[in-house]
Structure 1
């Protein structure tokens, strides 16, 4: 399946054309947990501890799609989500596309294209459904990864940071136990401070180091076994305090590397943690 077409956003022109579409890169690890629609549902609370998505009907295409996603079949999961349509299908398609783009897509132009697709789809959904936490979260996630791809400073200048921050704050207001939103907002605070400094960050973007740490602690309290959240916290420790927090950052990476992955995304995160420790 080739990446679906997207409508260009006025704030998000990459300035380069994406290369011809090719099949998505498969999962590189054979030891990924595998699910089908039947085995998926008993594990659903653990798999979705970060954002409390309601489970799909046990018999139907969405259960099959989520089983594909958690097994690392991101391309097939995204295609099934788009074919299903509706709010529930879009959540699956956006999550599968965003996670694949972040972890496995090797071509930078295609990665940015995929993130723009997710921003466009999720943003349109959030505009139609302002209280849809999942649309808001995936819009923010894709904005964040896109911003990192074009440089955080450039993204801030384009106003993408304020949009991201507002979406995540809205998610937390609507769903206070959304662990992933807490971690994503914490990472935003830390990264902006790292790029523009604490004074400009506070005065211009309303970000603070103490708020970042509070959000990380809350996110990990809600979802303590998330290897991705543990690594984000470790990176923030180093961004905000440098080598003085190297010991704490290493401890967090060790904890992430020791997680028994529950699905494909966690398997990818655990591998990143192991690689980080070996550097």
Structure 2
């Protein structure tokens, strides 16, 4: 595989294992990931927070155990924001889904394993189209994994965001009636999940962005102004690490295009 596209702001973030540990609760307010004791895993996280996603993936896989979570997050975030080739993006998302599924099988109580399995499958589904994913039965796997993550980790804001997005996208594609009858999705449940996530992690740029997108999908033009305000709030956040920088810049680009 070709080398990964570098994070465009290399050097702006300079975490090491000690500073990651010191700022852990803020850095991981979205995923509620327990702070690891293994120095090699902490170093892999430092690489991730610095935007060295390829190196973080390699270091996480090498460390094993909780390092698999670092590898999955680094791969997924890289594929989502920086990989320009569609086939490679989809391959990377499927790698995450497969690794996380194996991790969840070994550690059924690991909320992050269920979350990254759902994230990988969910982004893969978006890539092939939500309609095709529904036809292939991927939707139930995504939903079940996200619900498992929320049950296992009540403060996992990112899992709530992803589950809210799932409700919104299914309704957007098949309508509220079929979505509710066939896939068990509901508009109010989806919006509630976003509100819960933002209560847990009010500074989540990706939470604000996905909530804005869901409002437009579910409510249409009447919610455009509120959606724009959510994007503006996301764009005004001061990012703490590379992943947050990518989220905030996405919001800023969206506002410029509007």
TM range (shorter): over 0.9
The CA deviation at 1:177 is 1.4
Which whole-Å deviations, capped at 9, do the CAs of 1:3-45 have from their partners, x for residues lacking one?
xxxxxxxxxxxxxxxxxx1110001125733211122111110
Query: In the aligned structure 1, how far is the partner of 2:12 from the partner of 2:223?
Result: 32
Query: In the aligned structure 1, how far is the partner of 2:159 from the partner of 2:126?
Result: 17
- The structure carrying a bigger helix percent of its residues is 2
Query: In the aligned structure 1, how far is the partner of 2:86 from the partner of 2:157?
Result: 28
- The answer to whether residue 234 in structure 2 is matched with residue 264 in structure 1 is no
The residue aligned with 2:172 is 194
Query: In the aligned structure 1, how far is the partner of 2:238 from the partner of 2:14?
Result: 14
What is the aligned counterpart of 1:83 among 62, 75, 79? 62
What is the aligned counterpart of 1:143 among 113, 118, 121? 121
Query: In the aligned structure 1, how far is the partner of 2:12 from the partner of 2:221?
Result: 34
Q: Which runs of 5+ in 2 are unaligned?
A: none
- The answer to whether residue 130 in structure 2 is matched with residue 159 in structure 1 is no
The residue aligned with 1:184 is 162
Query: In the aligned structure 2, how far is the partner of 1:62 from the partner of 1:124?
Result: 19
User: Pairwise mapping of residues 226-265 of structure 1 onto structure 2 (< 5 A)?
Assistant: 226-265=204-243
- The answer to whether residue 15 in structure 2 is matched with residue 35 in structure 1 is yes
The residue aligned with 1:65 is 44
The residue aligned with 1:49 is 29
Secondary structure at 1:106 match in 2: coil
Please tell me whether the aligned partners of residues 69 and 96 of structure 1 are also in contact (alpha carbons under 8 angstroms): yes
- The answer to whether residue 220 in structure 2 is matched with residue 218 in structure 1 is no
Please identify, of 266-275 and 33-42, the stretch whose mean Cα deviation from structure 2 is larger: 33-42
Secondary structure at 1:225 match in 2: coil
Please tell me whether the aligned partners of residues 32 and 267 of structure 1 are also in contact (alpha carbons under 8 angstroms): no
Please tell me whether the aligned partners of residues 230 and 252 of structure 1 are also in contact (alpha carbons under 8 angstroms): yes
The residue aligned with 1:130 is 108
User: How many residues are matched?
Assistant: 257
Query: In the aligned structure 2, how far is the partner of 1:226 from the partner of 1:174?
Result: 21
Please tell me whether the aligned partners of residues 71 and 263 of structure 1 are also in contact (alpha carbons under 8 angstroms): yes
Query: In the aligned structure 2, how far is the partner of 1:82 from the partner of 1:168?
Result: 23
Please tell me whether the aligned partners of residues 115 and 142 of structure 1 are also in contact (alpha carbons under 8 angstroms): yes
Query: In the aligned structure 2, how far is the partner of 1:271 from the partner of 1:66?
Result: 21
Query: In the aligned structure 1, how far is the partner of 2:116 from the partner of 2:185?
Result: 21
Please tell me whether the aligned partners of residues 126 and 132 of structure 1 are also in contact (alpha carbons under 8 angstroms): yes
The residue aligned with 2:80 is 102
TM-score, normalized by length of structure 2? 0.97
CA RMSD of aligned residues (A): 1.1
- Give structure 1 regions of 4+ aligned residues with deviation exceeding 3 angstroms: none
